[in-house]
Structure 1
């Protein structure tokens, strides 16, 4: 037998065995054979395709046409043109030339303006003692720290401030952030990750909403201050466990005082629910600390709750304490974790030392004068509430809580279809008040808010306002509201 015939019989034998194997696979594993065939066909198809070659431009344009096209080209703007949906004139920004406890000076305006538009609840902004202490700090350290806390940005006054905050709040430790808004929005993703659960009040501020989004956790919103709805969500969550061990972290997140509505979260009931269903609680008490409680320690003190019931309590220094930055208090483990896991702490330049000094001075000022300051603040707030409730037209409503220095005037029967018209009216109120040397605020909200509040005029009281100034504010607003919102 020749070598060629041997080769033929070898190939024939291989093909015969291959045919037997394929027949066996088709008879016993037909679905698998179909899948393999489709994959093989797809691979053959890919190899059979020609390489992509862009079409050559045979019709090249002449120089004159090219210049004409270039001259006619108009690039899209980097930022879209401002749409005046809220009736606001962005070309007339208000610029301050001085800032006192109860009055401000506005560039281009001769007379002082009575200030009911800022969060200077304790009147510390402009306090001479705090200003002098800050000047000395500037002389010693300069005006900036020039680095994040972990990279040569920590100055001894930062540690002094954290010690003062922890001592004031009655916790083991505290951590200071450089920007108030970024505090809670950094703390949330530091502890809550993908597959964890965040149960948030639907009227939480945008900082909380941003932190929840950054965490990539599952987010469920409960109706504002509706404890029955909150309990139903917690109960449904626990029922899905079916007795199995819990493998994710679960948080209830709310504000102590809601800036956009002037009301208080029922923390006593929230704590009871978190203990019942084994959740953790984070709160942003930026508008409670320095305002509520016997000594100004916030919403937790207002409800006489141990601060240890809360895993994280955050607040900004930019409201009652009149400075810059924010802080979070908790046990040592919670604080230390943020020093490596809190993005706003790790990557942001630390507070200027003089700001830390001013913050320490503000806490000490509150500690020395808490009884007087808080009594004046609540009396002023209640007096203004009483006057405005009598003065407002029937079409308006005052959203408030007795004793709180922040309140909103809103349309009683708001229809979203009338948003532009209502916004224009409140814009008129703000401008007419300023013409009469009274400053009140008209809040602006981003379209990304989970629950965008309706238009309003926001009024804020200070402990330093006199009774006559409160009455003057109410009288001016009485006249303006009845002109703009004249009931038909």
Structure 2
């Protein structure tokens, strides 16, 4: 019985083979031939290659020129001639033998020189030592870190805060913690380099809109809405983000927050706001752009800030809802893998926050200084220069009124002005950028920073010195 069944199956197979199409038979024959070739072909032996003679090897070695580890640096590069500062980087700094009025660093509230902050940092140092020597999740969290996070959340009127040990890595880690490859991010074209690195790490589709141009932003949002209607399945999987700065580091201008929130609501976006500059400088009590425009911080999905500017410490932070912030503790690479900030610097930040809450008059002083220096620069600078930035911004950019188009030559001209100012007792700096890595590279500029410790006479001295030095340099150029 079994033999008859086998014979019957063989007969049916032969019959099917006879009735099969020719192309099917050829395809199967090809597969069998390919399989046989794979099984019986000789294996590859690297020693069977033709060997070079010693003379040929030496010729190749003689012809080979290795590339330098770093590109050649011109001898006149400013990187080879750094300014050496002695002592504290406060309102006045010692550069070599010169004592200069400092309008080049971000000590907006003068916290670096505050004796109360120094005292609290030293007391914390005696208790915890210098560093925590580990990431936050691995023995790097102390009570001081948690206290600072609680105080930041309370100060910013948000549910929760997370502290990073490095200011640059804060927003650069926070963005890719949420945005992924299939997402779309709408971002102002003049955002700082830290945001740009966060965008790169997210691998999302990046759509830049013109600087503070809400019409251009809405145009991009409308185009995205049209794409979503054409492909509803993809639209369901795509998340949309909006990223902006409170005060833009590269321009000194303020973001139009009410209009951004209006578009965010209309087009259903997740909104991240970087307040590295505006935190501790804008608003009646220094809460930033939300206070300036009288907007509830809960309207923004996530706010990031820096502890390295107004606070005078180190690190950065993000505030938002409990759900948003807790996600970063497992997904923010700068939080998970960086050694936590030294406890003494967290104690310094806590004391600085206490001072900001106890004496809100410093913010009015800072605003008065910012608007006064803006008006003085606008009216007294020579016609070859123009001031950029919001009047209340603590950052001003002095740019050439008629740039040559050669950024290297324009930057060299501004550097000569800065050098002249230093000789006259005024410390300034030109804005530095990574020209081969940054998106939408700004025009060369002298970056002027304002602080609350400046007196009216010191501001007048700074403006007069900048004016005279600029006129001297332009006269030589002519």
Same structural fold, with TM-score higher than 0.5 when normalized by the shorter chain: yes
Correspondence 1:409 to 2:427: no
In structure 1, the partner of 2:346 is: 356
**C-alpha distance in structure 2 between counterparts of 1:36 and 1:83, whole Å:** 67
**C-alpha distance in structure 2 between counterparts of 1:228 and 1:419, whole Å:** 29
Correspondence 1:205 to 2:189: no
2:113 to 105, 122, 126: 126
Cα deviation per residue 1:425-457 (whole Å; 9 max; x = unaligned)?
011111111111211111111121111111110
**C-alpha distance in structure 1 between counterparts of 2:347 and 2:341, whole Å:** 10
- The Cα of 1:219 is off from its aligned counterpart by 1.2
**C-alpha distance in structure 2 between counterparts of 1:430 and 1:323, whole Å:** 27
- The Cα of 1:257 is off from its aligned counterpart by 0.6
1:277 to 267, 270, 295: 267
Count of residue pairs the alignment pairs up: 464
- State the TM-score, normalizing by the size of structure 1: 0.88
- The Cα of 1:37 is off from its aligned counterpart by 6.5
Correspondence 1:457 to 2:451: no
Comparing 360-369 with 75-84, which one deviates more in the overlay?
75-84
- The Cα of 1:110 is off from its aligned counterpart by 2.5
In structure 2, the partner of 1:299 is: 289
Correspondence 1:246 to 2:236: yes
- State the TM-score, normalizing by the size of structure 2: 0.90
Cα deviation per residue 1:173-201 (whole Å; 9 max; x = unaligned)?
10000000000010011111120111111
Runs of 4+ in 1 over 6 A off after TM superposition: 13-17, 32-35, 68-74
- The Cα of 1:246 is off from its aligned counterpart by 2.6
Correspondence 1:442 to 2:433: no
Query: Can you give the 5+ residue segments of structure 2 that lack an aligned partner in the other structure?
Result: 1-6
In structure 2, the partner of 1:259 is: 249
Correspondence 1:149 to 2:136: yes
* RMSD of aligned residue pairs (Cα, Å): 2.7
Correspondence 1:24 to 2:20: yes
Residues 88 and 367 of structure 1: is their aligned pair in 2 closer, same or farther, counting only changes over 3 Å?
Answer: farther
Cα deviation per residue 1:396-432 (whole Å; 9 max; x = unaligned)?
221021111210011223353x112111101111111
Matches within 5 A, 1:163-182: 163-182=150-169
**C-alpha distance in structure 1 between counterparts of 2:53 and 2:89, whole Å:** 71
**C-alpha distance in structure 1 between counterparts of 2:399 and 2:32, whole Å:** 68
In the alignment, is the contact (CA less than 8 A) between 1:393 and 1:485 conserved in 2?
no
**C-alpha distance in structure 2 between counterparts of 1:309 and 1:181, whole Å:** 24
Query: Can you give the 5+ residue segments of structure 1 that lack an aligned partner in the other structure?
Result: 1-9
Aligned to 1:125, the other structure's residue is in SS state: helix
In structure 1, the partner of 2:51 is: 57
**C-alpha distance in structure 1 between counterparts of 2:29 and 2:464, whole Å:** 85
Cα deviation per residue 1:343-385 (whole Å; 9 max; x = unaligned)?
11111111100000000111111112222x1222122122222
- The Cα of 1:80 is off from its aligned counterpart by 2.3
**C-alpha distance in structure 2 between counterparts of 1:452 and 1:248, whole Å:** 29
